[in-house]
Amino acid sequence: MQKSQSRLSLNKHFAALGAAAAAVTGVGVVQQAEAAIVYSGVQNVAVPANIDGIYMNVVTGATATAGFAGYDINPYLGPSFFTSTTASVAGTRGYVTGFAGGTSTAGALNLQASEVVGPTGTYNEGVTSGTTYAAGTQPGIVGFRFFNEGAAQTQYGWAHIRLPSTGNPGVIVDWAYDNTGAAIVSGSTGQGGTVPEPASLLLLGTGVSGLLVQCRRRAMRRSKVILSASQ
């Protein structure tokens, strides 16, 4: 009887720890965190290290290595970003290059967390240099606007992207956008805060996994003591 109770207690303990670890390291679920902000979750979409890179629709998550109707962003080897050509009306696409308004030919900014991406920003609507964007190192935050065909509306978003460098693929880690056409704060997931930097998220997940292993070992030692005492 005591053995079965001990094992039941351990199973509940491990299940709770496993749920905690999954909450930190869970990947792959596209979710709408609030009525306005849609957050992708961590996706780690590979960006090939070539002139085509990856084309992606941020609403559906669809990707291709060639342009397709409805794609919104296109990071590629350069290092550069290419804006969608599917939206013919000026002012519906581009990457944030500043905050004074209008358009420019400057390179995309590597945004700090909590900067506003919205109608008052300055956007490059053509080929946007990413040379100031930490290519080939840790992912940075790029702000962008795009035309959401389903809503027939210009919308604003951000993405954690590491641009590719020669011989080294890049990655689109995660992204979010506001589906009402309102401005969005860079890094915001709609859950009352901002997403951790990708490197920090990885460290946090590793730390929880290590804690889970330690707790499991301690619980097993306690269980052996209890079982020995009951025999």
Provide the residue type at 154 as one letter.
Answer: T
Reduced to 3 states (helix: H, G, I; strand: E, B; else coil), residue 63 is strand
What mean pLDDT do residues 101-112 have? 90
Residues β-bridged to residue 168: 165
Top-confidence residue, 188 or 10: 188
- What pTM does this model have? 0.70
Q: Each residue of 209-230: pLDDT tens digit? A: 454 445 555 655 554 444 455 5
Q: Each residue of 44-71: pLDDT tens digit? A: 999 999 999 999 999 999 999 999 988 9
Top-confidence residue, 145 or 81: 145
What's the DSSP call for residue 115?
A: -
Top-confidence residue, 130 or 123: 123
Residue 108 scores a pLDDT above 50 = yes
Contact (Cβ atoms closer than 8 angstroms) between residue 139 and residue 173: yes
- One DSSP character per residue, 118-176 reads STTSEEE-SEEE-TTS-TTSS-EEEEEEEEETTTTEEEEEEEEEE--BTTB-EEEEEEE
CA distance 98 to 96: 6
Contact (Cβ atoms closer than 8 angstroms) between residue 141 and residue 126: no
CA distance 33 to 50: 34
For the stretch 207-211, contacts whose Cβ atoms lie closer than 8 Å and that sit 24 or more positions apart, written own/partner, are 208/20, 208/21, 208/24, 208/25, 209/21, 209/25, 211/17
